[in-house]
Homo-oligomer: A and B are copies of this chain.
Amino acid sequence: MYSLAEENYLKTIYHLEQESDGGVSTNAIAERMETKPSSVTDMVQKLAEKNVLSYKKYKGTTLTKTGKKIAANVIRKHRLWEVFLVDKLKFHWDEVHEIAEQLEHIHSEELITRLDKYLGHPDFDPHGDPIPDKNGHVKPTKKKLLSELSKKQRGVCVGVKETGSEFLQYLDKRNITIGTKIHVLGKEFFDGSMIIQVGRDQFFISKKTAENLYVQTN
């Protein structure tokens, strides 16, 4: 059984590994977890002893197979709970992260099995992120950033990169949510901004916005 702190480290390292493959640096972990590098060193050494990650002094860390599985399982729980909060309790998708951050550490296999079933075995959480299966496997998705689209292309919003409340509320004001169809009417080379159509509305979005929205094209 892993402690709350251990689970959070594993989860963070898992995410960092995916974002830029190769070993994860001590500082990167510290920054993401809003803690100090020295604390990270301590914990990472402890986790290495438990064989959930491999660690060489000054060389960064990588999760072992076991570590990946544990991390994916925490993420699975997090995302399933998010689905519960949004689908069943009618929370807004920008309100659920913090609560799921707590719920992901509830220990009970059976609970998650039943929750998954109760929710209808969802494949994605309310932000469009894939939910790992029992064994920690994630279906590879072919989503891309809205900013990668060019003029006249169309896509369906399948998720967000940035999950801050401000951003999600901004999207809401624009009526952009999971499943929303987006049509790129124009794109400015100069600053990467776009004119897009959403439903009947046409409006301007910045490069920054376009770089934080995932779409599926087909």
Query: A residues touching B (Cβ–Cβ < 8 Å)?
Result: 85, 88-91, 95, 98-99, 102-103, 106-108, 110-111, 114-115, 118
Contacts and interface: CB of A to CB of B under 8 A. Distances in A.
Copies in the complex: 2
Contacts of A85: 111
Contacts of A115: 89
A212 B89 CA distance: 35
A91 B103 contact: no
A99 B110 CA distance: 10
A108 B118 contact: no
A110 B102 CA distance: 14
Given A95-B110, A110-B95, A89 B102 contact: no
Contact of A102 (B88, B90, B91, B107): B107
A99 B118 CA distance: 17
Nearest to A113: B89
19 contacts: A85-B111, A88-B118, A89-B111, A89-B114, A89-B115, A89-B118, A90-B114, A91-B110, A91-B114, A95-B110, A98-B108, A99-B106, A99-B108, A99-B111, A102-B106, A102-B107, A102-B108, A103-B103, A103-B106
- Top 9 A-B pairs, shortest CB-CB distance: A89-B114, A102-B106, A99-B108, A99-B111, A89-B118, A103-B106, A88-B118, A89-B115, A102-B107
Nearest to A108: B99
A122 to B, nearest CB: 15
Nearest to A118: B89
A68 to B, nearest CB: 24
